[in-house]
Amino acid sequence: MLQAAVTGAATVGHGSIASGYSGPVAQSPDRGERAPVAVGAAAPVIVVLHGYRRFTAAAAGALVREVTVARFPNGELHADVPACVEGRGCVVVGSVSPPGANLERLTLVAHALRRAGASRVTALIPYLAYARQDRARPGESLGLAWLGDLLRASGVDEVAAVDVHSHLAGELLGLPLRSLSPAALLADALPQRWREDVTFVAPDEGAIARCTAIADAVGTRQPVVWARKRRTVLGVEHLGLVGDSGRRALIVDDILDSGATLTLCARALRARGVEEIAAVVTHARFTGQSSRDLVERELHQLWITDTVLRPSRPSQIGVVAVAELLVPILTGVID
């Protein structure tokens, strides 16, 4: 059924997180050609792990060094970092999502940067994994707190990510956290027919704010519809839609993993008589066949960002680059 990039800076806070647009992006007012980025001696050194260079594409003139983490024959990791980091702030760009080697590499490089004399280390992690592990019963692990302990122990001073899932993330990480809103870039990626006479739908209550942000960026005046759901031991249970929907609906969410939440929402909309359904998702993990079935059977179109690029993703979806959104973090030009 299918046919097919995120701007906004959030406020910084230790133990808190904000995801609305509140900061500048270095570009011309019409969102066309980029304005020059001021990069001076005080700008951070950008250290990029292999496979993540795409996130630095918009930081023209910045000092970018790619670092390779090698593995000895016995399986142990080793990294060499640039000598130019002494006394400088650094931004290390990578991932902490499974497989575990990603987290190993990023923390090893951060630790090496501090040993090499870096004055400050920012971990730029476009997709902040473990953010859904923000609550735990007694005796259970708490993934987000565990991640924060590892990052702090490795010398990381702050974290920046795109569209962080949980409002509890800053508190649990125990580090200043900057969440960058993708609303404006995603809104810009929508063709005209998905900007007019469209009902914007949040697949659960937690997605209302990000759905509203994209609806506002598009300029719609229609209220957002949202789906009531609850999680049970058997999975997600859909409890109905709140609000009135039109002929076309656009579902907005931050994470597409198994696809269960979006599938239930799409089916509820179809049962209401909605004829065309599309979706916008920030982080698309496409875990399992059910997530790919969602794309093939339930949606007319799907747009995702490139924070996660899974080999298993369907080829016909629209991919929106987030490099432009990351420029303030990479250059240190932040209000």
pLDDT digits (tens, 9 = 90+) for 247-275: 999 999 999 998 888 998 999 999 999 99
The yes-or-no verdict on residue 301 having pLDDT over 80 is yes
Of 5-9, 85-89, 103-107, 297-301, the poorest mean pLDDT is in 5-9
The answer to whether residues 211 and 241 touch, using CB atoms and an 8 Å cutoff, is no
pLDDT (average), residues 308-324? 86
The yes-or-no verdict on residue 29 having pLDDT over 80 is no
pLDDT (average), residues 121-132? 97
pLDDT at 332: 87
Between 267 and 231, name the one with better pLDDT. 267
pLDDT at 228: 83
pTM: 0.85
pLDDT at 3: 42
pLDDT (average), residues 171-190? 96
State the first-to-last Cα distance of the chain, in angstroms, to the nearest integer: 43
Any idea which architecture 187-320 has in CATH?
Answer: 3-Layer(aba) Sandwich (3.40)
**If you average pLDDT over every residue of the chain, what do you get?**
86
Task: Using pLDDT thresholds of 50, 70 and 90, give the confidence band for residue 128.
Answer: very high
pLDDT at 15: 45
pLDDT at 25: 30
Q: Does domain 13-183+323-331 have CATH number 3.40.50.2020?
A: yes
The yes-or-no verdict on residue 12 having pLDDT over 60 is no
The yes-or-no verdict on residue 147 having pLDDT over 80 is yes
pLDDT at 295: 83
Domain boundaries for CATH 3.40.50.2020 within the chain: 13-183+323-331, 187-320
Of 20-24, 42-46, 144-148, the poorest mean pLDDT is in 20-24
